[in-house]
Chains A and B, each alone.
Chain A
Amino acid sequence: MLEGGKISSRQAIFLMVSMVLPTAFLFMAAVIAHLAKQDGWISLLLAVLVALLIAWLVVSLSLRFPGQTIFQFVEVILGRWPGKVVAFLYIWWLIHVNAEILRQFGSFMVSAFMPETPIIVFEILVMVIAAYAVRNGLEVFTRANEILLPIILVMVFIINILLIPELNLKRLLPVYIDNGAVSIIKGAIIPSVWFGEIVVMAVLIPYLNKAKEAYRVAASATLITGSILIFSYVNSMALYGPEAADGWIFPSLNKVRMVNIANFLERLEALIMFVWVAGGMVKISIFYWAAVLGSAQWLELKDYKPLVLPVGVIILALSIMAHESILGLYTFLATSALPFWIVFQACIPLLLLIAAMLRGPRKTRH
């Protein structure tokens, strides 16, 4: 086997939370606020439901082929060459998603903290660490995440708690009537896509020590992420109100800047920086690992380590070339990314599941 690691269900939940939460915490609120205003929390609820469906879909599909990742079982379902094509598309998708994440990572650091630093400096630094993590295998960055994620969650919690004196829950009213169903559903699409990254479960499941708990892992991770994001969104709305919140790129950063307890406890941007850097690193590592593992399985290599560097270079280069500016990135995430993401997160898994069901239960093992 290419990847010898085995992780427990709890570690997997942590990993899946880290995979969605960090970027969503920073970027998502603005996109939703733009569409669904004060009703964004309803959009998020809908998105959680959609994500649960996607998770169910992917896990059901994966569990039909124990011990195999998506890159391997597509060949079983579709036959060797069509399977290779789909697996290649998935590798390409993982690389692209990772490039976007990397770009978000760098953009935030440059926009908010160090405007004069070239974006590639941050990207190279985080990629070097991620490459090291991936080279050491799944278990290593899973354990790192086990330490980092609780700290991240505590920080997110602290930020939101310290803002309570500034909140005005009336800003969430009136519910529904202002925006109507169309806006709320539109607002739900982007978070669904974001939560839909849970599709990476299809790569992870073979490495769970209790594969049967995969449903529970995917569902808990989605629910945890969803509730944190809803909590944080309601907090942003109660702080800024629907009108003022929608112009910001990073509402969570603006939130932290408002913390001022007794004129003493203030300027807590470092917390956000921690969430971003630590969470971003883990998130990038997961997608990086999946892409590298996928490439190795696709090429039928004995070891994935030789691929770490080349795949990393592709991700880095793609992230730099993908967008002119942060506004381009933002537009991409809010519009053209969606159909592309939906195909990989929902359509293909669904078709694969149908095909697998038609072929009937598998008898022999690889």
Chain B
Amino acid sequence: MKKLLSCLLLLIFMAGILSGCWSRKELSELAIVLGAGIDRTPDGQVMLTLQLAKPSTITGGWGGGARGIEPSAWVVSGTGKTVLDAQKRLATRISRSIYWAHSAILVFGEEAARYGIRRYIDFFLRSPYSRETMWIMVTNGEAKDILEAYSEMENTSAQDIANLARSRTGYSVNLKDFTIMLANQGTNPIASRIDLIDYSINSGGLTRAKSVMQKGAILTGTAVFHDETLAGFLDESETQGLLWLRGETLKGIISVSSLTEPGKEMSINIIRGATEVQPQYDGESVWFDVKIVIEGDLWEQQSGEEIMERQVRKAIEEEMAGEVEDKVRLALEKVQGEYKVDILNFGESFHRKYPKVWPKLKDSWDEVFAGSGVNITVEAHLRRSGLETKRTSEKE
């Protein structure tokens, strides 16, 4: 009897637990956020724009037919005093509960970025639902427009932009690294810059070709912050120089002009590289010795130099080095001269090498950085030449 009773109690107790989690949300009850945008309205409020997946169109795949007309995401904006306040307003319009875990990008409009970014990112770090792997972007217009952009390759612009960031063709930064740069005294944050580009697409397939103008997203360089406020932008070639200076993602293509035939070019694919920054301090002034080593393969040759000859290869290597140095100088001039902010992690390397001097300099570091000299040496190596030793199409 006692056993029976305890079994019964156990069953009743289990029924309470087995029904599932307390805060459970079924997939069909979720509005999955693919990307989010933050703008500052003229009256100082936060405008949160969400790109929400429309499950029916995404799972439909190619069969949907009306690509380019029927978007597979719903972009919706709401304003509020804080990010969460804006989300609360949105929740009254969105029939499902907003689910942050799959948000891939976080775009800031220029106004919001210039106003100060710390207040906006706190929610994304504090909430247990959003992830630190989100890519941080800044646009020079409104973030809303970026999220409304069209993508030819992917289902939605958020996925498109996240893939652009992941391929690291330019500078891309996730929320974790962005936060580290914000928290760090010796660095100022940078983020990718994203813009809109017009292009026309064919909608409705081959049968009734009709051209429609659409806006797509494009990575156009880097946004430079001074502490938490946007200071300005770097364009693509300055970004390349910046990446070399920071020692990140040294891949990419550089083109050098031909040694013998003017107007013709050679392209070299950079395979790897390394940047070494040595801070120097003599008690008064600060300067940096930067050594960049790159290795590349010759992948395209418009002209007809004999690359089998050692001197020619040496000359090409010198040109490569010169090209890299030019880009690096370009970025450095802009960063030191125009924006006067250390976005190169130089402060951190100085801190590591001179930890005792650092406390004296850290509060005025950006000024010290802007006034510091930088010696750049570039060492280039041409390692391979594709499948040819000379142009196969060449006449003897």
Contacts and interface: CB of A to CB of B under 8 A. Distances in A.
Interface in A251-269: 254, 257-258, 260, 263, 266-267
Interface stretch (A19-27, A112-120, A351-359): A112-120
A257 B175 CA distance: 12
B17 A125 contact: yes
Contact of A244 (B21, B166, B179, B352): B179
A111 B128 contact: yes
A213 interface: no
Contacts of B17: 125
A115 B129 CA distance: 10
A263 B166 contact: yes
Contacts of B184: 241, 243-244
Interface in A141-155: none
B275 interface: no
B20 to A, nearest CB: 11
Contacts of B132: 254, 257-258
A339 B351 CA distance: 36
A112 B180 contact: no
B363 to A, nearest CB: 15
A306 to B, nearest CB: 17
Interface stretch (A45-53, A84-92, A173-181): A173-181
A247 B126 CA distance: 10
Interface string B145-176: 00000000000000000000010000000001
A260 B132 CA distance: 11
B352 A173 contact: yes
B180 A240 contact: yes
A322 interface: no
A186 B131 CA distance: 32
A267 B129 CA distance: 11
Contact of A115 (B23, B348, B356): B23
Interface residues of B toward A: which range? 20 to 34
A363 interface: no
A2 interface: no
Contacts of B352: 170, 173-174
B44 interface: no
B231 to A, nearest CB: 21
A347 interface: no
Nearest to A179: B355
Interface residues of A, number: 27
B88 to A, nearest CB: 15
A258 B355 contact: no
Contacts of B21: 114, 117
A312 to B, nearest CB: 16
A290 B128 CA distance: 35
A260 to B, nearest CB: 6
Most chain A CB neighbours (cut-off 10 Å) among B22, B179, B351 = B22
B315 interface: no
Interface string B342-368: 000000100110011010000000000
Given A117-B22, A243-B183, A260-B133, A112 B128 contact: yes
Interface string A297-341: 000000000000000000000000000000000000000000000
B22 A174 contact: no
Given A113-B128, A115-B23, A243 B133 contact: no
Interface string A225-265: 00000000000000111011001000000100110100100
A241 B348 CA distance: 11
B129 to A, nearest CB: 9
A270 interface: no
B185 interface: yes
Nearest to A117: B22
A121 B23 CA distance: 12
A258 B356 CA distance: 33
A257 B131 contact: yes
Contacts of A112: 128
A37 B202 CA distance: 57
B180 A178 contact: no
A178 B355 contact: yes
Contacts of A239: 176
A178 B350 CA distance: 13
B101 A267 contact: yes
A242 B128 CA distance: 21
A177 B183 contact: no
Given A111-B128, A113-B128, A263-B166, A258 B176 contact: yes
Contacts of A258: 132-133, 176
Interface in A90-137: 111-117, 121, 125
Contacts of B185: 243
A174 B351 contact: yes
Most chain B CB neighbours (cut-off 10 Å) among A112, A113, A173, A243 = A243
Contact of A241 (B101, B166, B180): B180
B356 A177 contact: yes
Interface in B95-148: 101, 128, 131-133
Interface of B: 17, 21-23, 101, 128, 131-133, 166, 176, 179-180, 183-185, 348, 351-352, 355-356, 358
20 contacts: A112-B128, A117-B22, A125-B17, A170-B348, A170-B352, A174-B351, A174-B352, A177-B355, A178-B355, A178-B358, A240-B176, A240-B180, A243-B183, A244-B176, A244-B179, A244-B180, A257-B131, A258-B132, A258-B133, A260-B133
- State the 3 A-B residue pairs at the shortest beta-carbon distance, nearest first: A243-B183, A174-B355, A117-B22
Given A113-B128, A241-B183, A244-B184, 8 more contacts: A115-B23, A117-B21, A117-B22, A170-B352, A177-B355, A240-B176, A258-B133, A266-B133
Interface of A: 111-117, 121, 125, 170, 173-174, 177-178, 239-241, 243-244, 247, 254, 257-258, 260, 263, 266-267
